[in-house]
Homo-oligomer: A and B are copies of this chain.
Amino acid sequence: MTGYGQFCPIAKTMEVLDERWTVLVVRELLCGSHHFNELRRGVPKMSPALLSKRLRSLAKAGIVLRLDDGNRTRYELTPGGRALAPVISALGEWGVQWRSQLGEEDYDPSLLMWDMHRNLDHDAMPDGRVVLAFRFPDVEPAHREWWIIAESSDLVDVCDADPGFPVTVTVVSALPTMVHVWRGDLRWATALRDGDLWLEGSAEAQRVLPQWLRLSPFAAVARQGDVAVIGDGSRSPHT
Which B residues are CB-close (under 8 A) to A91?
Answer: 9-10, 13-14, 17, 87
Return the contact of A7 from the options B3, B22, B80, B108 (Cβ within 8 A): B108
Binds B, one of A97-105, A151-159, A202-210: A97-105
Q: How far is the CB of A4 from chain B (nearest CB, A)?
A: 7
Task: Encode A123-159 as 1/0 by CB contact (under 8 A) with B.
Answer: 0000000000000000000000000000000000000
Q: Mark A219-233, 1 if CB is under 8 A from B, else 0.
A: 000000100000000
Interface of A toward B, CB cutoff 8 Å = 3-24, 27, 45, 62, 79-80, 83-84, 86-100, 102-103, 105-108, 111-112, 115, 179, 182-183, 216, 218, 225, 238
Q: Cβ of A7 and Cβ of B183 under 8 Å apart?
A: yes
CB pair B45–A102 under 8 Å, yes or no, is: no
Given A9-B94, A18-B18, A62-B238, 8 new contacts (CB under 8 A): A7-B106, A7-B111, A9-B95, A9-B216, A11-B95, A13-B99, A14-B24, A17-B91
Q: Which residue of B lies closest to A61 (CB)?
A: B99
Q: Provide the bound-state CA to CA distance between A43 and B213, in Å.
A: 46
Pairs of residues from A and B, 6 with the lowest C-beta to C-beta distance, nearest first? A9-B95, A13-B95, A12-B99, A9-B96, A90-B90, A12-B95
Cross-interface CB contact of A5 among B45, B62, B80, B218, cutoff 8 Å: B45
Contact for A112 among B5, B7, B15, B92, CB less than 8 A: B7
B12 touches A102 (CB 8 A): yes
Copies in the assembly, this chain: 2
13 A-B residue pairings within 8 Å (CB atoms): A7-B179, A8-B95, A8-B111, A9-B218, A10-B24, A10-B91, A12-B100, A12-B106, A14-B24, A62-B238, A79-B225, A83-B94, A87-B87
Q: Which residues on B sit within 8 Å (CB–CB) of A84?
A: 94
Alpha-carbon gap, A213 to B218, bound state (A): 40
CB distance from A12 to the nearest CB of B (A): 4
* CB pair B9 A105 closer than 8 Å: no
Return chain B residues, CB-CB under 8 Å to A111: 6-8
